[in-house]
Amino acid sequence: MKSGVRSQESGVEKYEAVIGLEVHAQMLTDTKIFCGCSTKFGSEPNTQTCPVCIGMPGVLPVLNKKALEFTIKTGLATHCKISPYSRFARKNYFYPDLPKGYQISQYELPICEGGYIEIVADGEVKRIGITRIHMEEDAGKNIHEGGGHYSFVDLNRAGVPLMEIVSEPDIRSPEEAAEYMKKMRTILRYLGVCDGNMEQGSLRCDANVSIRSVGQKEFGVKTELKNINSFKFVEKALDYEIRRQIKVLEEGGKIIQETRLWDTATNTTQSMRSKEEAHDYRYFPEPDLVPIVVNQEWIDEIKSTLPELPDAKRERFVTQYGLPEYDAELLTSERAIADWYEDAVNVGVQPKAVSNWMMGELMRMLNEESKSIEECPLKPDQLAGMLKLIDDATISGKIAKTVFEEMYRSGKDADTIVKEKGLVQISDEGAIEKVVDEILLKNVKEVERYKAGEEKLLGFFVGLVMKETKGKANPQILNELVKKKLS
């Protein structure tokens, strides 16, 4: 079934979910969108504020050009049209974390419109439309601590630039929604416009959800879900909400248009406000900012700075390096991982070998220490250097694991480690033969059993030789020698 709600509940099969996502992405500009204050996360409350971002009387906003550039960049990367003429609008409402009593946003004329991104759903590539991307300022934070009859307001976040990316209602299941979020995050991180950190709130998501009978064209009544601020919650919250709506309809009820809040404590969605209680934001054009006029020349210039995007990179990894889709997908999930990979391959080693080591040992060790690839103590050419030692039979694959760990911990090159620890593989047939002969002499009984047909004892002999040579014997030569001697 298509709804993605895999359950045996009654009626589920009859329905299809229709989902649209509104993603808020904090931009990685150094300064706020309308003033020069720092956007750094985690500073002491109200230390990154000025008269402009705390909305004192008489001050005026000035647009941060970098925020505009980042939004255009995102628009271009998601196949949007960039409007040559767009403008800001005021969204009016009262809340203590909103110092001016209005948020400067875009309404009628957003900067980007009509794009899409591609996700993989049920093994097939699916396009999710992007309705629009617009710029706006973030609000501050209310802090309810201390238990007094008051709350605190921290305005460090007020004025941090946000992009709101609104999707078309093209998403049909919680899994697709999660895929969409992941893909969007990857693109934003590739572009370097947002760090994509949902836990810290630099990437946030609201969802519009409705259900309809399979085959029905019209949309059902939608609810808006808020507070789904982790990848895990995107799927969970949508899953819950779809089931809830199905249950309401199955019991003969009606869906009410409302805003619902995802409650992480109960894993349910709770009604926050109905359509009647919805704010009237009284949008009107922001008179303190002139309309944004963007010329094609600048758009082209920004276009020329676009990095290779994840889809293109993945395809290239498959064709250029002969990698399986799975490897390519993983290696291109982060731009830094892909760069690391290519830096290693470019030294001149087997692409698939690099992939195996990265996806295996390297990722395992990074994960153990919760490190990102940027923090990896190992350099790509060090891995390549080690792979060369395997290629030219200086070390065995088994020894390589030891070398790799040592490289990771000490930062020394594979060459140095192999020399220092005497790990060079013994490929001298004579030397290996000597050890093999010794071992066979010492284990006469086992030799007889082998000859009597117990062929699995081959491994026993090989193991003993390896032990004796501290693992340095060339495994291929060793295997052949043992077989020859015993035949």
Binding site for other proteins (CB under 8 A): 51, 54-63, 90, 92, 94, 96, 99-102, 153, 280, 282-284, 287-290
* CB 105, min distance to other proteins, A: 13
Residue 94 or 452: which CB sits closer to other proteins? 94
337 φ, ψ (degrees, to nearest 5): -70, -45
Minimum Å gap between C-beta 74 and other proteins is 23
Amino acid at 416: T
Q: Which is nearer to other proteins, 149 or 254 (CB)?
A: 149
Measured from the CB atom, the residue of 96 and 324 that comes closer to other proteins is 96
Q: 96 or 348: whose CB is closer to other proteins?
A: 96
Q: How far is the CB of 96 from other proteins (least distance, A)?
A: 5
Q: Spell out the residues 6+ positions from residue 271 whose beta carbon is closer than 8 angstroms to its own.
A: 256, 258, 259, 260, 261
Nearest residue (CB) to other proteins, 61 versus 471 = 61
Shortest Cβ distance from residue 278 to other proteins (Å)? 9
d(CA 171, CA 21): 8
- Least distance between other proteins and beta carbon 291 (Å): 10
Residue 79, exposed/middle/buried by CB under 10 A (0-12, 13-18, 19+)? Answer: middle
Q: How far is the CB of 95 from other proteins (least distance, A)?
A: 9
The nearer residue to other proteins, 287 or 453, going by C-beta atoms, is 287
Judge whether 399 and 471 are in contact, CB under 8 Å: yes
Instruction: Determine phi and psi for 130, rounding to 5 degrees.
Output: -105, 115
Min. distance of Cβ 54 from other proteins in angstroms?
6
- Spatial CB neighbours of 243, under 8 Å, sequence gap ≥ 6: 5, 7, 9, 12
Distance CA 55, CA 61 (A): 10
| Dihedral (CA of 224, 225, 231, 235) sign | negative
Looking at the Cβ atoms of 63 and 363, the one nearer to other proteins is 63
Q: What is the DSSP letter of 280?
A: -
Q: Which DSSP letter does residue 171 get?
A: B
| Nearest CB to other proteins, comparing residues 146 and 252 | 146
Question: What stretch of H or E contains 116?
Answer: strand 112-121
In the bound state with other proteins, the residue whose beta carbon lies nearer, of 107 and 116, is 107
Cβ 62 to other proteins shortest distance, Å: 5
Q: Which is nearer to other proteins, 288 or 315 (CB)?
A: 288
Query: Which CB, 123 or 150, lies closer to other proteins?
Result: 150
Kindly tell me the number of DSSP H helices and DSSP E strands found in the chain.
16, 16
Token pair in block for residue 166: 């609104």
Helix, strand or coil, per DSSP, at residue 49 = coil
- The residues near 282 (Cβ < 8 Å, ≥ 6 apart) are 90, 92
Q: How far is the CB of 165 from other proteins (least distance, A)?
A: 25
Residue type at 8? Q
Q: How far is the CB of 102 from other proteins (least distance, A)?
A: 5
CB of 160 to other proteins, least distance (A): 18
For every residue of 266-290, DSSP letters joined together read: TTEEEEEEETTT------EE-TTSP
Alpha-carbon distance of 88 to 108, in angstroms, equals 8
- Of 4 and 140, which CB lies nearer to other proteins in the complex structure? 140
Which CB atom, from 153 or from 181, has the smaller least distance to other proteins?
153
Residues 6+ apart with CB under 8 A from 300: none
In terms of Cβ atoms closer than 10 Å to its own Cβ (0-12, 13-18, 19+), residue 365 is middle
Task: Please compute Rg for the chain using Cα positions.
Answer: 30
The Cα–Cα gap between 209 and 169 comes to 9
Under 8 Å between Cβ of 156 and 47 = yes
We find the least distance from the C-beta atom of residue 109 to other proteins, in angstroms, to be 14
Residue 84 main-chain phi, psi, to 5 deg: -70, -20
- Determine the straight-line distance between the first and last CA of the chain, rounded to whole angstroms: 60
Q: Report the distance separating Cα 17 and Cα 172, nearest Å.
A: 5
Distance in Å, CB of 59 to other proteins, minimum:
7
